[in-house]
Structure 1
Amino acid sequence: MVGFNVRKVLDKQTQVVLFSSTAIALYGYDQGMMSLINTNKSYLSTMGITEESPIVGVIVSIYYLGCAVGAVLASKFADVKGRRPGIFACLATASAGNLLMFVAGFGKMGQSSNLALATMLVGRIVMGLGVGGIDSVVPVYSSELSSDDQRGTALAQEFQANIFGLNMAFIVNIIVTHRLGKWDQWAWRTPIIAMQIYPALLFAGANLLPETPRWLVFNGDEDRAKKSIARVFGKDAVDDRIKELRDAQKQEEEAGSVSYADMLLPSGSQFHPTIITIMGQVNQALTGYGAVSVYGPQIFELLGFGVTESEYITLGNYLFYFMMMTLAWVLIDRVGRRRLMLQGALWLSISFALLTVLGGLASNRQQLSIPRLATGIPSIIVLYLATSVFGIGWLVPPWLIPTEIFPSTARAQGAAISVVIWGLANFAVTLLTPIGFNNLKYFLLLVFAATNAIAWVLTYLYCPETGNRTFEENQEFFSAAAEKGSWRVAKVDGGGYRTLPKGGDDGHEESETSPLLRGRE
């Protein structure tokens, strides 16, 4: 058993997943990190703001603007210098931003709340530049080093690490907050600086990982590409994969290079896949889980729990989230990305509608003479399950699909656009959520019920199933859509892109509305 585990750790594909997972965990760590810092009295005093101030939301959300810019810069850098150098440049940037956040208001700087706030804002932006770049390059790096039928599993495993990062940050927050108190500056500085463990681990393992063969072939370095293939997939796979990459390179050279104009203008050759990418990230934001991740304790307070109770219940939610994410990488290549998103949006819409009712009952509990547990326990159950549904159905697909639908010459730009839209959408959500708390109260949850319904409709109409198909096969969908003159998935290729291709992992198609966990034939 020990020998088996050692061999698995030494396997290059496993190392790629571990490396990518650690990088993606940075994204989750930041979400968990700010959730309790936002309520720390020392932090608020140092920044010269109150807990109800809209500046709290600005500090959280401005990070996402940094992510949007970082994604564009990193994708360009990764196209020119390589996927792996791009990742390390982003790690260094994220680390620098984190250090700026840590020293904000420290020592003599603490004498000026304006200087402390400015330093924190700059730190958030710089860290966003790095993390946005990581979120842009890592999915491309991972997908280019995965087999066609394992891309979803690999990325889902990496995003489970995202939830690990969220849990780690929240646990560190709870420990230092309850040991030091909300008036101690180290109760908010410690969770910030603890993030440095991720860049340290990644830089330590830098030499273990190869560049992607696809990038090497497309940049004229076949010798290194062959070595990379041998390291990751084995020597027997070298000839076949090199031939596939040469053919793909030839096809894309004939098609010509792809610019951002080709992707963003309606007349552009990659406009359709770009809209699918944008739609996926907007729909993910519409699920409302950016708000739940960052403002989890406040959500439970809306549902009638006290401050300390909400913090521990939120921790339980995050831990359950992490465990249930295992189903994401078990299911994503078996049932497909589209079906997970459709069923996820449906159940999230129902869950938020139920939570609105429970929030209303909780806020009027005394007038209605309702026992506290009568609303509290159902609220916990519904929100825990809703969080799990989001993790299984919506956390991974909007990041995965852009890595599967663009040609190699546009894949990094496509991933960058994905992160830009994710950054802008989450900027809006995390900026507006505190305002929603203050003005809409529990009716904010009804807004999320409606936006999930919108996400379901858009996904059903326009999002193709990209699982268990080669990059080139997925691009054929867009050619067929252009010939048909319709973007409706049901009308393209006889509706063949509504489900996984026949002869997939189990040899038969399933309806996208079939229950996910029914017995397999």
Structure 2
Amino acid sequence: MAPTGKTVYNWYISLVAASCMVLYGYDASTFNALQNSTNWKNYFNHPTENIIGAINTSYTVGAVVAGFFFGGPLADWAGRRVGMAAGAILVIIATFMQCFAPRGNVGVFIAGRVVIGLGQGLALTAGPIYIGELSRPEVRGTIMSFWQMFYSVGSFIAYWVGYATAKHPGKLGDWDWKMVVIFQILMPILILAQVFFIPETPRWYIQHGNRLEEARAALHKVRDTEQEVEDELLAIREAIEFEAEAISSNYSALWKDRSIRKRLLLCMILNGGQQITGQGTLNSYSTIIYKKVFKDPAKIALINALNATFGILFTLNATWTVDRFGRKFLFIVGGIGMACCMITVAAVGSETPSPGDSKTQPVGIAIVFLMFLFALFYKPSWGATVWIYTGEIFSMNVRAQAVGMCSQTQNVVNSIVQQFFPIFLKNCSWYVFYFFAGINVMLALFVVFFIPETKKVSLEEIDTLFGGTNHVEAGGELVGAKDPHHAEVERVEITDEKRA
């Protein structure tokens, strides 16, 4: 069946929100690309390994602070669109701080990394919530898979710009790295140009003053029939009513509700696990790793660019698998596949000769192939599906704060790994990949025993999977609905003096 105009519009507004992930993908890849630039090293007086680790960590500090303390409250108080816009503005400010830092003053560059982390902490909290709250349950996973794909789009842009500048370091001078940095303002400008022309989520409208008409108008833009609109409005009202009456309408539910506490713990483990699969480290330090194999900076930049290009294609696998086979299936297959790749990389790297401090061409090609194969397993599973799962398992009363906290667990873990990895790699060389292999096996087993499947379950009823109450059915009694799952279009005003 051909998609309707409203379905196409639903995809459009979701992709505007998903553009926030381009900010993350670009920035996560930018510093990796800069480490390949001799001009950048000279500009900042050849930073030591500890300073390089600090530059990476500074970003995560900003992101963690924003995600844990500001992202959720801002998205709840001012709306999901404001959260995305505020993040985009901070990214623009930070881009100029990094690009035009005084020569030799790495402190300003690091401060810019902190500000960009703050911006992304805000945007990456609001974006997935927005997509989850406006998507139909049966295609929510498919649409959310584009969230991770846009991370790859950000990497794609950063690495290809990096490759282009790496070909002409003499002609460009300092602009061979400044150009990579300045291109980062492109996406936040595009987000700001569109974000206030898309509707706010109906769940936010109802949670803030029970603004039914505005919620109904938002839903009419993305649902095909009147019945769909009224059914979803009823389910949202029932869930919010129950959460306010039986649990808590504020963040205290994070520790009062046993079911939410359980979800918070499971989701933090998933998000932290995403960063110790090896992908986060590879994205920040692949240049250092490839220098053990190749000596030509342009060749290393090309490999990074091709990896980012294939990353887009690999992530697309999530669009047709996540709602067909489920989240749990992808987590398990991805974890096992990544473990096999890491074991093989460790074996190839450590057991082959290194004439002239670099590998022979056949060995180099084999290692690059294995890195690409690792990305094939990672992108649709622990890449895309972690974000899908995080954005859909929390109830409305805590969703913004919980998503912010869980998603920033990635940066808490990442900051630890990024700080010690350069030293770890220097001391242990290729054997570090055995560490990542073991982690991936443990993550797959964790999913087998502890993670319930959520595919095609509505946001308002997902609590039952974690030992909680069905918020729709329990809330139906509070609002006086005879059928909690089906609104009578002719009498949608049930128990609704507020609307009058």
Post-superposition offset of 1:183: 8.2
Q: 2:143 is matched with which residue? A: 154
Q: Secondary structure at the match of 2:317?
A: helix
Post-superposition offset of 1:347: 0.9
Aligned residue identity for 2:217:
K
Post-superposition offset of 1:453: 1.6
Q: Is the 8 A contact 2:253 2:398 kept in 1?
A: no
Q: Distance in 2 between matches of 1:199 and 1:175?
A: 22
Q: 2:66 is matched with which residue? A: 70
Q: Secondary structure at the match of 2:135?
A: coil
Aligned residue identity for 2:240:
Q
Q: Distance in 2 between matches of 1:365 and 1:203?
A: 50
Post-superposition offset of 1:361: 3.0
Give a deviation string over 1:340-390, Cα, whole Å, max 9, x none.
01111111111100000111134x2449xx992442332222211111110
Aligned counterparts, 1:327-476, within 5 A? 327-362=317-352, 364-366=353-355, 372-476=360-464
Q: Residues 10 and 214 (structure 1 numbering): CA distance in 2 closer, same or farther, change over 3 Å?
A: closer
Q: 1:142 is matched with which residue? A: 131
Q: 1:222 is matched with which residue? A: 212
TM-score after normalising by structure 2: 0.87
Post-superposition offset of 1:264: 5.3
Match of 2:232 among 215, 236, 241: 241
Structure 1: gaps of 5 or more residues: 482-521
Q: Distance in 2 between matches of 1:326 and 1:317?
A: 14
Aligned counterparts, 1:257-296, within 5 A? 257=248, 260=251, 262-263=253-254, 270-296=260-286
Q: Distance in 2 between matches of 1:420 and 1:59?
A: 18
Q: Secondary structure at the match of 1:31?
A: helix
Q: Secondary structure at the match of 1:464?
A: coil
Post-superposition offset of 1:193: 1.0
Q: 2:481 is matched with which residue? A: none
Q: Residues 179 and 306 (structure 1 numbering): CA distance in 2 closer, same or farther, change over 3 Å?
A: closer
Q: Distance in 1 between matches of 2:252 and 2:171?
A: 50
Q: Is the 8 A contact 1:229 1:238 kept in 2?
A: yes
Post-superposition offset of 1:129: 0.5
Post-superposition offset of 1:10: 9.4
Give a deviation string over 1:137-168, Cα, whole Å, max 9, x none.
10001000101111111111232121011010
Q: Is the 8 A contact 1:27 1:165 kept in 2?
A: yes
Instruction: Tell whether 2:32 aligns with 1:44.
Output: no
Q: 2:20 is matched with which residue? A: 23
Match of 2:174 among 185, 192, 195: 185
Post-superposition offset of 1:121: 1.2
Q: 1:90 is matched with which residue? A: 87
Match of 2:57 among 61, 67, 75: 61
Q: Secondary structure at the match of 2:457?
A: coil
Aligned residue identity for 1:120:
F
Q: Distance in 1 between matches of 2:136 and 2:265?
A: 26
Instruction: Tell whether 2:192 aligns with 1:203.
Output: yes
Q: Is the 8 A contact 1:157 1:329 kept in 2?
A: yes
Q: Is the 8 A contact 2:259 2:468 kept in 1?
A: no
Q: 2:243 is matched with which residue? A: 252
Q: Secondary structure at the match of 2:467?
A: helix
Post-superposition offset of 1:306: 4.7
Q: Is the 8 A contact 1:288 1:429 kept in 2?
A: no
Match of 2:109 among 120, 127, 132: 120
Post-superposition offset of 1:292: 1.0
Give a deviation string over 1:286-334, Cα, whole Å, max 9, x none.
2010011122222223346654433222222221121121111111111
Aligned residue identity for 2:235:
E
Q: Distance in 1 between matches of 2:8 and 2:378?
A: 31
Q: 1:494 is matched with which residue? A: none
Q: Residues 182 and 351 (structure 1 numbering): CA distance in 2 closer, same or farther, change over 3 Å?
A: farther
Give a deviation string over 1:209-234, Cα, whole Å, max 9, x none.
00000111111211110110111224
Q: Is the 8 A contact 2:166 2:298 kept in 1?
A: no
Q: 1:501 is matched with which residue? A: none
Aligned residue identity for 2:116:
M
Q: Is the 8 A contact 1:263 1:269 kept in 2?
A: no
Post-superposition offset of 1:182: 9.6
Post-superposition offset of 1:274: 0.5
Q: 1:325 is matched with which residue? A: 315
Q: Is the 8 A contact 2:36 2:297 kept in 1?
A: no
Q: Distance in 2 between matches of 1:246 and 1:183?
A: 58
Q: Residues 182 and 69 (structure 1 numbering): CA distance in 2 closer, same or farther, change over 3 Å?
A: farther
Aligned residue identity for 2:36:
T
Q: Is the 8 A contact 2:63 2:411 kept in 1?
A: yes
Q: 2:222 is matched with which residue? A: 232
Q: 1:213 is matched with which residue? A: 202
Higher relative contact order (CA 8 A, sep 6+): 2
Post-superposition offset of 1:248: 1.5
Q: Residues 57 and 258 (structure 1 numbering): CA distance in 2 closer, same or farther, change over 3 Å?
A: farther
Aligned residue identity for 1:340:
L
Match of 1:165 among 139, 154, 158: 154
TM-score after normalising by structure 1: 0.84
Q: Distance in 1 between matches of 2:250 and 2:242?
A: 17
Q: Residues 274 and 10 (structure 1 numbering): CA distance in 2 closer, same or farther, change over 3 Å?
A: closer
The alignment-based identity, stated in percent, is 23
Post-superposition offset of 1:454: 1.8
Give a deviation string over 1:49-79, Cα, whole Å, max 9, x none.
33x5210121022101111111130210111
Give a deviation string over 1:256-276, Cα, whole Å, max 9, x none.
3265554358x8552101001
Q: Give the aligned CA root-mean-square deviation in angstroms.
A: 2.4
Q: Distance in 2 between matches of 1:163 and 1:182?
A: 29
Aligned residue identity for 1:354:
T
Aligned residue identity for 1:396:
A
Q: Is the 8 A contact 1:70 1:130 kept in 2?
A: yes
Q: Distance in 2 between matches of 1:216 and 1:69?
A: 27
Q: Is the 8 A contact 1:278 1:418 kept in 2?
A: yes
